[in-house]
Structure 1
Amino acid sequence: MATKKCLETVDAQYGGLHANCSHIKTSRVPEDLPDNTTTLDLTFNNIKTLYNNDFKYLTQLRYLDLSFNPIDTLQELSFHGLGSLLYLNMSYCGLYNAKHKVFGLGNLDILDVSGNSLSIINVTFFDEFPNLRTLRVSNAQLDNDFLAQNGLRIFSPLQKLENLDLSSNSLVFLPNDFFNSMVTLKVLNLANNNLITIPDVTQLVKLNSLYLNHNAITTLSHQTRDMLEKTNENNKKFKLHLWGNTFTCTCEEIPFLRWVEETDVDLDGSDYSCVESSGILTFTKAVYNQWTSFNRNCVSSFLLNLTIGGFGIITLTLIVAFVFLKNKMKLKLLLLRMIGKNIYPKKRDDFVYDAFIIYTDSISGWVCNELRNELETNRGIKLNLRDRDHIPGGSQADDLLEAIRDSWKIVLILTEEFLRSDLAYFAMCNCLSSVTLTTPQRLIVLIDHQTNITANLDFLLEAVNEDSILYVDLQHPLTIAFWDRISNVIKSKEGINI
């Protein structure tokens, strides 16, 4: 099909011509564009390669949009002649990594490369963008390890950068000094990642907005809170965006909960969702409004533990430590009963289901067929399965919390896809929160043999009884002995009667 002609109109913003070449099905940059073109829209075409000197005659061009083209080749002099270009949009172009430098964009003000696959970036790539003020690299599949090791060098040439968007890249960790050289930043967007800590931003004295919405942050440490207070002192316009994170409302987090209500830092809200030690979802303001009762319970627990420790005998320290590690839940229940607080383990009849199975789409067929048939049909275990028992279109987080509350045991199936999913940290944190004094052996973990168990999963596995951690090969049928074993673990009582 022949390509259509571009629609040319007066460019009211830059004074030249606006060439609208969107959806004209061209596979090359048009060669017949007027020399005085200042705005060029080439979106939604079939351009696969940007050749050297494709824009050499468009020396007055200020605005160039190449988004939504299947560009797989970018030559070094593709943008030669665009010394006046201020805005370049190459989002969702199918770019795979940025291994080579490009030249000719020395005056570029705004660059958008979101929606591409940029797991690897040449550490000198941004050396040719000295005047860049806005950089958008959202949903670009950035490699966390590569970025942590090379980020300081990659972004160091951007001495005028004011707006940086690294959202939706599944980032888990960034070095504390990652942004130290970006002293001109005014807006930093790290939303929709899996961050559990916040890098130091005290050097960013011009920072107005820090977006951390929808990450895996469960609390802010004392050091982090001090850092944010200092950042706020440096710039009274500073605003912190935390909505979408689920915090923990436990005794250990009293300083953080008070900080949320009393800080001078401008927050995007004063009432964030949080999970109590019992696993119940609540809100920070609800906890703060019942502060006297909450604080009294926490102080009582602290004094109780302090009193018990005071009666320890030095010569029996090792024995006591060993006994405590082996019988931690029993001892806690015993001590609580000694002071008149009769807490008893929950029973199966307190729940709707025998087990809630947490899994990802890649193994849904195996769960809904083989696992369901072996456990539910053959062994009479009542299961809660997402694909069968949850209403489609609902909130995944709310459905997960409700299923945990309604289930006697929780079976968490760890696969590589699960660990990469957006809900992984949320699901694991809430699984751990469900393990309480009344349900100490509630969590069962199945680990696919192909899953790489990293060090940051120790917090989960250390909280699970060894007999409740099972390794499986999901690529092959499992034995009857395995199904009998997991069935017995699910049906077993909490085993802490004293």
Structure 2
Amino acid sequence: MSHLLNLRVSFNKISIILQGSILSLNKLYLDSNEITKFPQFCINHGNNSALPNLRYLSLTNNKIAKLNVGQFRCFSKLRSLKIDNNWIGSIHSNTFTDLKVLTNLSIQAVGKQLKKIEDGAFNIPSLQMVSLRDCHFHFDSLSASAQSSTLSSCNDLRFLDLGGNFLNSAILPRIISQLEQLRYLNLENTRLGYLSDNVFPKLLAIETLIMSNNRIYGWDRYVFDHVASLQYLDLFNNLITIVNETSFPIALLANLKRINLGGNRFACTCEQIWFVNWLRRTNITLSYYPNRYYCTTPDIYNHKLLKDYKPSFLSCNPIITIMISMSALVCLLISTMIIFLKCSTNIKNVLYLLKVKQFRRQGYLPIVNSEDYEYHAFLVYCDENRIWVHNDFVKKLENEEGFKFCIYHRDFDVGESVSGNVDKYLKKSWKVIVIISNAFAKSEWCQWEVDIIQERRRRQGRNALLLVVLENITSKNMTSPLRTLLDSTPHLRYKKGIGENLFWAAVIKVFEKPSDNLRFLNYRYKLLLNEGQFQYVPMSV
């Protein structure tokens, strides 16, 4: 068949290919067969190619387990290679170097998990399209230099699909920083969270950016300034609650043709009024609007469509009412604000201390106390607050007051998983102390710990927790789980200087041992439970 151009033998049971020359063949489809070893198509002892004019080769859905260096030396004119859905576990350095004119490379869903990408694996300057979709590769397993060099040779890359892998805001800019010609970038389901300013370098030619099905709940103000050339932006099914006038730069909105913000957890509050009005008047195509644009908070607006949320002018701008009230109460308001600003932290700490004392006077009887545990408390904090936690908090309460805390830098077992350590040492700790700051609120790891803490609170009550707030949490950093925790649990605020002694007194009071009478009642209560009886125990002694 001297003039054969296209040959499709997919969906058969081919396992072995005997090399034979077809000089005219341009496209070869060998998908869904039982091939276990990549065919080299070399003849005459490897000196010539059996398919010298082959431009397109597809071997998807086979059983190929290895790609070795030198396997592609007889494909001098190959431009497109698809090897999706095979059993490849590693991509070695210079594997594709012999493919001098290759432009399209698709290695989707290889192996149960792609475990290794060596430095120089994609050393192909001619590449214009790369897809590693659904390989479940942990890019955090690479060193910072390896991340930067992964695609550094692909200066002409136009299309990149990394969906279904593991990335974060720190790793991504290292991978794409040198791809100045990139037009299409797919980051769907890559576990992205908060987007920092430098997550996208200057991608001056980018037209399509897909970040759907992630955990994005917010971003820095200027994050989209570097991708103002976008025509399609997809943020479907994330954790976005508020979109305001500063969320997207004017240059981006002027250039966008289509945007997808559906499936997010929007809040129907006055902060949303700009977005609600923009949705009604914009000329940009809104994917899935209006059915997938609905409110989740507050409860009275749960599942209400954003298009039906129409807050009144007075409800969001109570200027007239405020002016009337101000004329009568201006002096009182100023005085109150001055007192509050000067003493707000101390007032809150006093109220917290009074509640602890009131519970004890009313006969509050803990079923367990610190003597039942190895540690008085398990400390939860982010790395940015480590200096204060170690030098101030732990030093004061352990060295001077004799308490014992579980600190992961010091007490966790080496070699055991982090989640395993957390579960083990929570069980050994009487209470949980959470050190909250803006850095804590932005940390994805700390958000996971908040979920674990909430479960502890549901089982043992809010007195099992001690929340310490180091600073006011800004609205852009406040997440729904953290807001729920703060709203439902009393907390202390730390402020250096006046009132600092009151803060330490309140903390110590939380860990104060019960009186002898209370310990006796506690023993009596446990004894009744062990005997299978339960009766009312009067709290007065």
Question: Scaled by the length of structure 2, what TM-score is found?
Answer: 0.55
Once the 2 structures are TM-superposed, how far is the Cα of residue 258 of structure 1 from its aligned partner? 2.5
- Aligned residue for 1:459, secondary structure, equals helix
Written as runs of structure 1 = structure 2, the 5 A alignment for 1:51-70 is 51-70=68-87
Alignment partner for residue 483 of structure 2, among 459, 472, 479? Answer: 459
Alignment correspondent of 2:307 = 285
Matched, 1:96 2:115: yes
Which one of the candidate residues 13, 20, 31 is aligned to 2:29?
20
Q: Say if 1:63 and 1:320 are closer, same or farther in 2 by CA, change over 3 A.
A: closer
Aligned AA (1:141): F
> Which residue of 89, 92, 95 corresponds with 1:75?
92
Report what 1:211 is aligned to: 234
Alignment pair present for 1:47 and 2:64: yes
Q: Map 1:275-424 to 2 at 5 A.
A: 275-281=296-302, 282-288=304-310, 291-292=311-312, 295-300=313-318, 303=321, 307=326, 311-312=332-333, 313-314=335-336, 316-317=339-340
Contact in 2 for aligned 1:7/1:20 (Cα 8 Å): no
- Please, which of 235, 240, 263 is the counterpart of residue 244 of structure 1? 263
In 2: Cα distance, 1:152 partner to 1:287 partner:
38
Indicate yes or no: 2:175 matched with 1:157. no
Q: Which amino acid aligns with 1:56?
A: R
Q: Output the CA distance in 2 between the equivalents of 1:238 and 1:69.
A: 37
CA distance 1:27–1:445, shift in 2 (3 Å): farther
Moved more, 16-25 or 318-327: 318-327
Cα 1:60/1:309, change in 2 over 3 Å: farther
SS in 2 for 1:224: coil
Identity across the alignment (%)? 18
Answer yes or no: is the 8 Å Cα contact 2:92–2:118 preserved in 1: no
How far apart are residue 210 of structure 1 and its match?
A: 0.7
- Given that 1:171 and 1:193 are in contact with CA atoms closer than 8 Å, whether structure 2 keeps it comes out as yes
For each residue in 1:276-314, what CA deviation from the matched residue of structure 2 results, as whole angstroms up to 9, or x when unmatched? 4344321111113xx43xx33334499469757763335
Q: Deviations over 1:174-211 (max 9, x none)?
A: 22232232111010111111111246223334311011
Report the more deviating stretch, 38-47 or 196-205.
196-205
Rounded to whole Å, the distance in 2 between the matches of 1:251 and 1:266 is 24
Q: Distance in 1 between matches of 2:187 and 2:37?
A: 30
**Within the alignment, does 1:274 sit opposite 2:295 as a pair?**
yes
Q: Is the 8 A contact 2:34 2:62 kept in 1?
A: yes
Q: Which has the higher strand share?
A: 1
CA 1:58 to 1:85, structure 2 compared with 1: closer, same or farther past 3 Å?
Answer: same
Change in Cα spacing, 1:205 to 1:135, as seen in structure 2 (3 Å) is same
Instruction: Go from structure 1 to structure 2 and tell me whether the alpha carbon gap of 1:286 and 1:45 turns closer, same or farther (over 3 Å shift).
Output: same
What residue is the counterpart of 1:129 in the other structure?
154
Q: 1:310 to 1:261 in 2, by over 3 A?
A: farther
From the CA coordinates, give the structure whose radius of gyration is larger. 2
Q: What secondary structure sits across from 1:231 in the alignment?
A: helix
- C-alpha separation in 2, matches of 1:252 and 1:327: 31
Question: SS in structure 2 opposite 1:49?
Answer: coil
- Are 1:261 and 2:261 matched, yes or no? no
Q: Does 1:3 align with 2:20?
A: no
- Whether the 8 Å contact between 1:5 and 1:24 is mirrored in structure 2 is no
In structure 2, the CA distance between the partners of 1:7 and 1:201, relative to structure 1 (3 Å rule), is: farther
Q: Which amino acid aligns with 1:465?
A: T
Aligned to 1:376: none
- Aligned equivalents of 1:322 and 1:110: distance in 2? 60
CA–CA distance in 2 between the matches of 1:132 and 1:20? 25
Q: 1:223 to 1:326 in 2, by over 3 A?
A: farther
- Report the 3-state secondary structure (helix = DSSP H, G, I; strand = E; otherwise coil) of the residue aligned with 1:188: strand
Q: 1:37 aligns with which of 13, 38, 54?
A: 54
- Superposed CA offset, 1:140-164 (max 9, x none): 122x2xxx23433321221211000
From 184, 188, 194, give the equivalent of 1:173.
Answer: 194
**Letter matched to residue 281 of structure 2:** E
Structure 1 counterpart of 2:212? 191
Gaps of 5+ in 2: 1-12, 42-49, 353-442, 466-476, 492-524, 530-541
C-alpha separation in 2, matches of 1:274 and 1:258: 15
Deviations, residues 462-486 of structure 1 (Å, cap 9, x unaligned): 122249xxxxxxxxxxxx98xx9xx
Determine the C-alpha separation between the residues in 2 that align with 1:165 and 1:103: 18
The CA RMSD over aligned residues, in Å, is 4.4
